[in-house]
Structures are given as structure tokens and as C-alpha cells.
């Protein structure tokens, strides 16, 4: 009997390691292929070997010299930072009010705002583009920042409201006893307590602004603040021949900043979602 249990346990371990290996392969193989492709010479992509015969940096230089990818990266950085800061400025007081203040139809208004997350944003493209052109926001960073708030603000309000709602109801009262006004109690007591959640929503809003394609493509033109995701699309569909080496390089470069920011915000993200659960 003991031998049977030992065999079953060994078999379960083998199956577990096999499944884990398969999952890791599915995740890592595409990344390995993109990295290998980025260092291949032009025309070598469709050869059978994965590892390039000779390491070439031609695609890396062409991306910046011919395609001017650094300008698209700068536009993505400004779009992401502006989206994140504006989302937090709007959602912080909004989430605080929904969590700490009682007023008529509070829950109705909250779920109407959060409910927009399930709305297909592609339906807004035509009316939004027309309005942006009429008011002068088309092809501007401000226009992109405001468009990104359609998704960022409801999501941030949802996360921040959950945090503020679980704090002690007597915090503001204690702060006001020591001479704080209602607003001072908010930004001197409540906002510092919400630091991990604020950093988390900053990261999520930045990630959305950095990687967005829909609004960035429709609300900008070639002479405006087009982002890296739009540049990758142009490189894919903008000519008769796709430069796969350059496309791999752009994909790798565009993926580095979100990963770097995630590494910095990982601790706060873990705290935020552990608290939410």
C-alpha cells in the first residue's frame, strides 16, 4: 500500500512538472524568438535556424535612424505619464467621496461610472473624433490624456473606493480634532494612507496610456503625438514589405518601460490587490 502511494505521488509530481514546463515554454518561446529575430540580418528571418548565424545590430540602428522610433517612444512616455497623473487627480477625490460620504443615489452614480468599463470603447471613436476636431483637441497630448480617462478614471475610482471604504470611519474626526479642515484631513491623512493604492493606479493608468492603440491611432496623425503602438502598426501595415527584424526590435523596446515600471511598483501592486481580495 505504501508503495502505491509513493508511485501515485511520484506520478503527480511528474504531471505537475510537465504542465509547468509546458506553460513556461508557451510563455518563454515567443520572447526567445523575438529576441533572436531582433539580432538577425535582413532577410534571415525565415531561415530554419532560430539563432542568428551572425549577430547584427542593423535593425537596431535602422529603427532609430530611418524610422525615428525614439520620437514615438517619447510620445508614449508623455501620453502615459499625463494619463496617469490626470487619472489620479480626478479619481482620488471622487473615490474618497463615494467611499466616505453619504448622499442620495451614491451607489447608483458609482455603478454607473464603473459600469462604463464594460462599454465597447470603439463605439466612441467616431463621435469623439468629431468632437475633438471641433474643440481643438485632435492631434494633441491633452486630447489623448482626456480620451484615456474614459477607461482610467472608472477603473481607478473602483480600486481607490474599495481602499477608502475599509478605513476607520473616525480618522477624519480625529484629524479635525487636531485642527484640520475636512480637506486637510483628506490630503494629510487619507491620501498618505492610500500611498500603495495610489502608486498602483498610477502604474495601471500609465500602462494603459503607454500601450493604447485605439485612441492613439484615431485621435492623432503623422505630424502629431503618435505613440509607439501606432508606430508598430505602421511598420506592420504601412508598406509592401514587412521588416520583421525592425518590428521585433520595436516590440522589444516598447515592452521594456512597462516591465521596468512594474518592477518598481510590484510591492505596491501586491499590497493593493491582496487588500482588495
Output phi, psi for 55, to 5 deg: -65, 125
pLDDT at site 77: 95
pLDDT at site 242: 75
pTM value?
0.85
Of 194, 190, 210, whose CA–CA distance to 262 is shortest?
Answer: 210
Contacts of 199 (CB under 8 A, 6+ apart): 265, 268
C-alpha dihedral sign at 158, 267, 144, 231: negative
Cα 42 to Cα 49: distance, rounded to the nearest angstrom: 14
pLDDT at site 7: 62
pLDDT at site 109: 92
Cα 129 to Cα 122: distance, rounded to the nearest angstrom: 11
Q: Is residue 86 scored above 50 in pLDDT?
A: yes
Cα 238 to Cα 185: distance, rounded to the nearest angstrom: 54
Q: Largest Cα–Cα distance of the chain, in whole Å?
A: 80
pLDDT at site 41: 81
What mean pLDDT comes out for the span 129-151?
94
Q: Burial-class residue 156 by CB neighbours within 10 Å (0-12, 13-18, 19+).
A: buried
Instruction: Tell me the per-residue pLDDT of 167-226, one tens digit each, with 9 for 90 and over.
Output: 887 888 888 888 888 888 888 888 888 898 999 999 999 999 999 999 999 999 878 899
Cα 127 to Cα 125: distance, rounded to the nearest angstrom: 6
Class in CATH terms, 60-276: mainly alpha
Q: Which helix or strand (DSSP H or E) is residue 266 part of?
A: helix 244-276
Out of 144-153, 182-191, 260-269, give the one with best mean pLDDT: 144-153
What mean pLDDT comes out for the span 144-161?
93
What mean pLDDT comes out for the span 33-40?
85
* Residue 76: band (very low, low, confident or very high) from pLDDT cuts 50, 70, 90: very high
pLDDT at site 141: 95
C-alpha dihedral sign at 234, 239, 242, 243: negative
Indicate the domain borders of the chain: 2-58, 60-276
* Residue 3: band (very low, low, confident or very high) from pLDDT cuts 50, 70, 90: low
* Residue 275: band (very low, low, confident or very high) from pLDDT cuts 50, 70, 90: low
Contacts of 145 (CB under 8 A, 6+ apart): 79, 82, 83, 86, 209
Q: Is residue 81 scored above 70 in pLDDT?
A: yes
What is the average pLDDT score of the chain?
Answer: 86
pLDDT at site 92: 94
Coil, strand or helix: which one is 238? Answer: coil
Q: Is residue 277 scored above 50 in pLDDT?
A: no
Whats the size of the chain, residue-wise?
Answer: 277
Q: Which residue did the predictor score with more confidence, 66 or 237?
A: 66
* CB of 252 closer than 8 Å to CB of 226: no
Instruction: Tell me the per-residue pLDDT of 225-255, one tens digit each, with 9 for 90 and over.
Output: 999 999 998 887 766 677 788 888 999 999 9
Amino acid at each position: 500500500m505504501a508503495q502505491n502511494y509513493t508511485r501515485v505521488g511520484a506520478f503527480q509530481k511528474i504531471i505537475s512538472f510537465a504542465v509547468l514546463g509546458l506553460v513556461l515554454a508557451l510563455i518563454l518561446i515567443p520572447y526567445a524568438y523575438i529576441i533572436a529575430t531582433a539580432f538577425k540580418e535582413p532577410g534571415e528571418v525565415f531561415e530554419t535556424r532560430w539563432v542568428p548565424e551572425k549577430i547584427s545590430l542593423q535593425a537596431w540602428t535602422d529603427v532609430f535612424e530611418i524610422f525615428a522610433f525614439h520620437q514615438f517612444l517619447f510620445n508614449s512616455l508623455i501620453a502615459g505619464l499625463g494619463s496617469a497623473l490626470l487619472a489620479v487627480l480626478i479619481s482620488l477625490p471622487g473615490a474618497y467621496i463615494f467611499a466616505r460620504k453619504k448622499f442620495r443615489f451614491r451607489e447608483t452614480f458609482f455603478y454607473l461610472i464603473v459600469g462604463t468599463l464594460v462599454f465597447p470603447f470603439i463605439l466612441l471613436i467616431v463621435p469623439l473624433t468629431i468632437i475633438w476636431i471641433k474643440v481643438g483637441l485632435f492631434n494633441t497630448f491633452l486630447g489623448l490624456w482626456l480620451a484615456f480617462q474614459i477607461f482610467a478614471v472608472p477603473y481607478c475610482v473602483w480600486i481607490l473606493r474599495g481602499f477608502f471604504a475599509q478605513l476607520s470611519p473616525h480618522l477624519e474626526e480625529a484629524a479635525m480634532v487636531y485642527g484640520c479642515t475636512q480637506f486637510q484631513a483628506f490630503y494629510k491623512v487619507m491620501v498618505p494612507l492610500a500611498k500603495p493604492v495610489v502608486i498602483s493606479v498610477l502604474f495601471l493608468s500609465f500602462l494603459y496610456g503607454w500601450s493604447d492603440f485605439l485612441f492613439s491611432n484615431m485621435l492623432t496623425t503623422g505630424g502629431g503625438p503618435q505613440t509607439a503602438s501606432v508606430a508598430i502598426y505602421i511598420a506592420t501595415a504601412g508598406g509592401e514589405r514587412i521588416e520583421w527584424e525592425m518590428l521585433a526590435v520595436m516590440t522589444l523596446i516598447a515592452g521594456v518601460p512597462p516591465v521596468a515600471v512594474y518592477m518598481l511598483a510590484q510591492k505596491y501592486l501586491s499590497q493593493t490587490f491582496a487588500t482588495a481580495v
